Amino acid sequence: MSDTDDAPRKTLRLRADTEAPKLQKKGRGWNIAESRLDTLHDAAREMRRSPTPAQAALAAELAKADLGRYRFKRYAVIGSAIVDFACQPLKLVVALDEGTNPPEIERRRDRSLGEVGIKVIRYPAADVLADPEGAARAVLAEMKARWHEQRASSRPNQNRHRQGAARGYQR
């Protein structure tokens, strides 16, 4: 045996919440090295080439649905995460739970995306396979709710003017 065989092996571990760095949304890659970002984009491209049955079913239903001017991108890179479906103008992510990732990592990713204003909705892959149309309807309902949330937050003074008009105030 050589000295290198006796060295302890490095293993991946999940950091405690107190150790995790805050996301800093700066530039294209959120302070991610270009080489890491290229690796993420390559992995996302490979995932798009070979989707799971649940992802293919939901993608087909979303392609048929009337989404207006919004579109979902499959396997989008957001920060250091690859998400199943992303509607970037609405800051909405759809994730299918297929049991491939540990739940702690999923929760941390959802929380990190939430910190920068991205809403993550999760659906079990079995439910999507059982009823892809129902899953697409649920996604559309979430899109409408998200659109209304964003519209209300972008027009904070609109309600105040309406209240004044309802009370009979004239300009």
Domain chopping of the chain, boundaries:
27-163
pTM of the model: 0.69
**Whether the Cβ atoms of residue 51 and residue 74 lie closer than 8 Å to each other:** yes
Tens of pLDDT along 90-135? 999 999 998 888 888 889 889 989 988 899 999 999 999 999 999 9
- The pair of three-digit structure tokens given for residue 23, joined into one six-digit string: 């996301």
Tokens describing residue 63: 């392609």
User: Under a CB-based contact definition with an 8 Å cutoff, are residues 44 and 77 in contact?
Assistant: yes
pLDDT in tens, 55-88: 999 999 999 888 888 889 999 998 888 999 999 8
Spelled out in words, what is the top-level CATH class assigned to the domain 27-163?
alpha beta
CA 14 centroid distance within chain: 20
